[in-house]
Chain A
């Protein structure tokens, strides 16, 4: 899980939220349609897709999707 496109695809299919690449850098409180529940869903979805555990407390503290992606990408590196 390390490409922006892959993250966008998961967000689209699992969260039913069609976002564009530029939205990844928008802070969550300014990201239209985003609420805190989405992060909970996203964590579960990424864990299902990768079979690895995300650092949940860090993920919940990330300020935008790009930050979350950095966390998720770290999963792949330990593979």
Chain B
């Protein structure tokens, strides 16, 4: 079989390109919700690539088109050149669904005299005053030659001025002062040659930063951004040349990390923190596929990557202990999931850590919406974590208010992907947060979630599933053999084949070997299934049919069976026979053939293919006064390529 039509749905342009197009067309303000959505599809660490687009975005124009959009007023007072900060803040806030009114206040040495803006009284949105300081606030006070005592004096003086500003902030109700700990540049410390002085400078610097953090702890209208974690994640603090010639003492990467912290602070201040996690299981909480590999086969702590999943579970447990509600959103079946969570010896997370468990065949957006309803939370309180591009993409498209973390690739990166967004940042956690989990738990809620099953038409249409049936090229032999060996659920006879056996069948004229490829709008899935059949005179016997669990619940099996029946009829067959041999894992598909217009032969009896094998037949032509059996309908949402045998 060869593809007759290979044209594909046009790939949607990358989010960066679409944002640039919106900006070029002057549409950013009018399309602000779309811009927010596009920004969320760009990894947060790469936001600086589009930040410029948000530098000149007019909050009034956003309000004109989208009056419900919260506008944040941000005053920036920096001792160095921090012009890059404003567009970065604009982008980070827009990613959180907020517009920005920014104002640059000139730096004065006496911080109580900084000319902060005076917003109109009716302006009730969050207001931030950023005093962004770099080490030059100290360096400028030093005369060459300087010693550690001079630095201590300058630091003490600076802390005093900051303290005065924080005290004055008490009178500025409605706004929040944002301080930052001072990064210690290598340039400064490396000018000291003796180890004793270097040590004392380190102590003085840390004492200053500790003092600054204590001010933020004590003053209700003041918060501090601790720059140490930002510095641990970003490159050099500045470029020597730009620092020297243009006074850019804080580089873009650092400023983007700082802007991310400020945006998280705004979300905390305005009660926009997320409250719950909806977690995929296979590939997210553990390695492998529970339905395929069984509880003993999944990687939780053992295996090459188990340690990474274990670590991720611990991070989730830590979030859960602080009041973030953990829920499961998985395509596994409920019972094995319950068992794995309860009994698996290596799980860091246990069944009781989860307040709701949706393990069923429904589309995940439906499950998240249902969990939100049951818990009495808004959908915008949820963050969904999944390792599959299709699940992450469908959630973004269909429930854009849900935060999405796509944890692709190495599980050692899962914690970073989840934590870097600061989804759950709040001003403080209360005892109520910590006990929230108890209040939400309940068997009844779980029961309610179990009932639903099946994919909705809207969801399937959105996926844009394409299925291609093809005669496998020689290169595909290994993949087909692997499918027979690794697939357990949709493996109708669990007949395992080696590469040579696959090759023999491919070469035999009476055997039909069909590879099933699939893709959707979120990506290419490759060869996800296979049909092994053989023709004996007028009968086509399907020896086995396989489908990867990655593409379950999309109607792909129906499209394949129908195409096979049509093809068999066109090739002059009068009957197609299917076989099903029960295994511990394939019970979910016991009714596949009867669901597709086949009739069981000798129900309860034995048949060819060995003990326990059940045989089903589909009549393609009229016989003995009966018409042919009805063909299953082709699922409308699937585009079938190359439906004919070539």
Contact = CB atoms under 8 A, between A and B. Distances in A.
Interface of A: 13-16, 18, 35-37, 39-41, 43-44, 53, 56-57, 60
B52 A60 contact: no
Nearest to A35: B83
B81 A37 contact: yes
B218 to A, nearest CB: 36
B241 interface: yes
B633 to A, nearest CB: 48
A18 B26 CA distance: 12
Interface string B136-170: 00000000000000000000000000000000000
A13 B20 contact: yes
26 contacts: A15-B52, A16-B20, A16-B23, A16-B52, A18-B24, A36-B246, A37-B81, A37-B84, A39-B246, A40-B83, A40-B84, A40-B242, A40-B246, A40-B248, A41-B52, A41-B84, A43-B242, A44-B239, A44-B252, A53-B241, A56-B242, A56-B245, A56-B246, A57-B245, A60-B245, A60-B246
A14 to B, nearest CB: 7
A41 B85 CA distance: 12
A56 B242 CA distance: 7
A14 B49 CA distance: 7
Contacts of A37: 81, 83-84
A16 B246 contact: no
Contacts of B81: 37, 40
Minimum-distance CB pairs A-B, first 3: A56-B241, A37-B83, A16-B52
A9 to B, nearest CB: 11
Contacts of A15: 52
B55 interface: yes
Contacts of B84: 37, 40-41
Q: How large is the interface on B (under 10, 10 to 19, 20 to 34, 35 or more residues)?
A: 10 to 19
Which of B23, B24, B239, B246 has the most chain A CB atoms closer than 10 A to its own CB?
Answer: B246
Where chain A touches its partner, the secondary structure class is: helix
Nearest to A47: B239
B34 interface: no
A61 to B, nearest CB: 9
Contacts of B23: 16
A40 B533 CA distance: 66
Contact of A16 (B55, B83, B239, B242): B55
B307 interface: no
Contacts of B268: none
Where chain B touches its partner, the secondary structure class is: helix
B280 to A, nearest CB: 35
A16 B21 CA distance: 10
Interface in B51-75: 52-53, 55
Contacts of B239: 44
A44 B248 CA distance: 12
Nearest to A18: B24
A60 B81 CA distance: 14
Contacts of A43: 242
Nearest to A56: B241
B336 to A, nearest CB: 49
B583 to A, nearest CB: 55
Which of A13, A35, A39 has the most chain B CB atoms closer than 10 A to its own CB?
Answer: A13
Contacts of A44: 239, 242, 252
Nearest to B242: A40
Contacts of B246: 36, 39-40, 56, 60
B52 A57 contact: no
Interface string B223-262: 0000000000000000101100110100010000000000
Which of B81, B242, B248 has the most chain A CB atoms closer than 10 A to its own CB?
Answer: B242
A29 B84 CA distance: 20
A42 B222 CA distance: 35
Interface string B84-101: 100000000000000000
A16 B56 CA distance: 10
Contacts of B53: 16
Nearest to A36: B246
A37 B83 CA distance: 7
Contacts of A60: 245-246
A39 B83 CA distance: 12
Contacts of B252: 44
Nearest to B247: A40
A57 B245 CA distance: 6
A15 B246 CA distance: 17
A39 to B, nearest CB: 8
Contacts of A18: 24
Which of B52, B55, B252 has the most chain A CB atoms closer than 10 A to its own CB?
Answer: B52
A42 to B, nearest CB: 11
Given A53-B241, A57-B245, 7 more contacts: A15-B52, A16-B55, A35-B83, A37-B81, A39-B246, A40-B248, A57-B241
